[in-house]
A and B are shown apart, each in its own frame.
Chain A
Amino acid sequence: MIRYVLNKFIFMLISLFALVTATFVLMNAVPGSPLREEKATTAQIQKNMEAYYGLDKPLVQQYGVYLEKLAHFDLGISMKQRFRSVNQTIAQSFGYSLRLGIVSMITSVLAGCALGIIAAMRHRKLLDNLAMILAVAGLAVPSMVMAPLLQYLFAVKIRAFPVTGLHGPLDYVLPAIALSSVSIAFIARLIRSTMIEVLSADFIKTAKAKGLPGHLIVWRHALRNSMLPVVTYLGYLTANVITGSVIIEQIFAIPGMGKFFVQCVIDRDYPLIMGTTIFYAILLLASRFLADIAYLFVDPRIRISAGRMGG
Chain B
Amino acid sequence: MPSELNLNADSDASPDRFRKIGRDPKRAERIARKSLSAWQDIRYRLFANKLALFGMYLMVAVVLFAIFAPLFSHYNYFSNDLDRTNQAPGFRHWFGTDDLGRDMYVRTWKGAQISLFVGVVAALIDLAIGIVYGGIMGYFGGKTDEIMNRIAEVLYAIPYLLVVILLLVVMPPSLTTIIVAMSITGWINMAWIVRGQIMQLKNEEYALASRALGAGPFRILFRHLIPNAMGPILVTLTLTVPGAMFTEAFLSFLGLGVQSPIASWGTMINDGVKAMTVYPWRLLFPALLLSLTMFAFNVFGDGLRDAFDPKLKK
Interface residues of B in 239-272 (CB under 8 A from A): 242, 246, 249-250, 253-256, 266, 269-270, 272
* Interface flag for B299 (CB, 8 Å): yes
Considering the complex, give the chain B residue whose CB is closest to the CB of A238.
B159
* Interface flag for A26 (CB, 8 Å): yes
Contact partner, B153, options A11, A29, A148, Cβ 8 Å: A11
* Interface flag for A156 (CB, 8 Å): yes
Known contacts being A11-B154, A26-B167, is A144 close to B298, with CB within 8 Å?
no
B149 with A15: CB separation less than 8 A: no
**Residue interface bits A114-155, CB-to-B below 8 A is 1, else 0:** 000000000000000000000011011110110011011000
In angstroms, Cα B246 to Cα A45, docked, is 45
In angstroms, Cα B295 to Cα A277, docked, is 31
**Residue interface bits A10-44, CB-to-B below 8 A is 1, else 0:** 01101100110011001101100000000000000
Contact partner, A142, options B149, B166, B246, B273, Cβ 8 Å: B246
B159 with A281: CB separation less than 8 A: yes
In angstroms, Cα B161 to Cα A19, docked, is 12
Contact partner, A15, options B157, B168, B256, B270, Cβ 8 Å: B157
In angstroms, Cα B272 to Cα A36, docked, is 36
Stretch at the interface among A52-60, A62-70, A94-102, A261-269: A261-269
Determine how close the nearest CB of chain A comes to the CB of B58; give it in whole angstroms.
11
Known contacts being A152-B276, A265-B256, A281-B159, is A145 close to B269, with CB within 8 Å?
yes
In angstroms, Cα B165 to Cα A38, docked, is 25
Interface residues of A in 221-273 (CB under 8 A from B): 239, 242-243, 246-247, 250-251, 261-262, 265-266, 268, 273
Determine how close the nearest CB of chain A comes to the CB of B308; give it in whole angstroms.
15
Known contacts being A11-B153, A280-B162, is A140 close to B253, with CB within 8 Å?
no
In angstroms, Cα B165 to Cα A273, docked, is 10
Interface residues of A in 266-295 (CB under 8 A from B): 266, 268, 273, 277, 280-281, 284-285, 288
Determine how close the nearest CB of chain A comes to the CB of B277; give it in whole angstroms.
6
Stretch at the interface among B10-18, B99-107, B208-216, B283-291: B283-291
Chain B residue numbers with a CB within 8 Å of A142 are 246, 249-250, 290-291, 294
Determine how close the nearest CB of chain A comes to the CB of B61; give it in whole angstroms.
16
* Interface flag for B36 (CB, 8 Å): no
A310 with B149: CB separation less than 8 A: yes
* Interface flag for B32 (CB, 8 Å): no
Considering the complex, give the chain B residue whose CB is closest to the CB of A133.
B51
B280 with A26: CB separation less than 8 A: no
Chain A residue numbers with a CB within 8 Å of B292 are 140
B157 with A141: CB separation less than 8 A: no
Q: How large is the interface on A (under 10, 10 to 19, 20 to 34, 35 or more residues)?
A: 35 or more
In angstroms, Cα B188 to Cα A15, docked, is 15
Considering the complex, give the chain A residue whose CB is closest to the CB of B266.
A144
* Interface flag for B170 (CB, 8 Å): yes
In angstroms, Cα B152 to Cα A11, docked, is 11
Known contacts being A142-B290, A145-B269, is A239 close to B161, with CB within 8 Å?
yes
Contact partner, A277, options B162, B249, B254, Cβ 8 Å: B162
B170 with A29: CB separation less than 8 A: yes
Determine how close the nearest CB of chain A comes to the CB of B194; give it in whole angstroms.
12
B169 with A15: CB separation less than 8 A: no
* Interface flag for B158 (CB, 8 Å): yes
In angstroms, Cα B163 to Cα A154, docked, is 35
Chain B residue numbers with a CB within 8 Å of A310 are 146, 149, 153
Contact partner, A11, options B157, B161, B283, B299, Cβ 8 Å: B157
Considering the complex, give the chain A residue whose CB is closest to the CB of B291.
A141
B283 with A265: CB separation less than 8 A: no
* Interface flag for A213 (CB, 8 Å): no
In angstroms, Cα B249 to Cα A306, docked, is 41
Contact partner, B298, options A22, A27, A139, Cβ 8 Å: A139
Residue of B154, B167, B196, B302 contacting most chain A CB atoms (<10 Å): B154
In angstroms, Cα B154 to Cα A59, docked, is 25
Known contacts being A23-B166, A30-B170, A266-B255, is A144 close to B269, with CB within 8 Å?
yes
In angstroms, Cα B166 to Cα A152, docked, is 32
Contact partner, B158, options A19, A30, A136, A273, Cβ 8 Å: A19
Residue of A148, A273, A284 contacting most chain B CB atoms (<10 Å): A148
**5 extra interchain contacts, Cβ-Cβ under 8 A, other than A151-B276, A250-B254, A265-B169?**
A30-B170, A140-B294, A156-B276, A261-B165, A266-B256
Q: Which 10 pairs from chain A and chain B are nearest by CB?
A: A140-B295, A15-B157, A145-B287, A140-B294, A148-B273, A141-B291, A284-B159, A144-B253, A19-B158, A15-B154
| 6 A-B residue pairings within 8 Å (CB atoms) | A15-B158, A27-B170, A148-B276, A247-B250, A266-B256, A311-B192
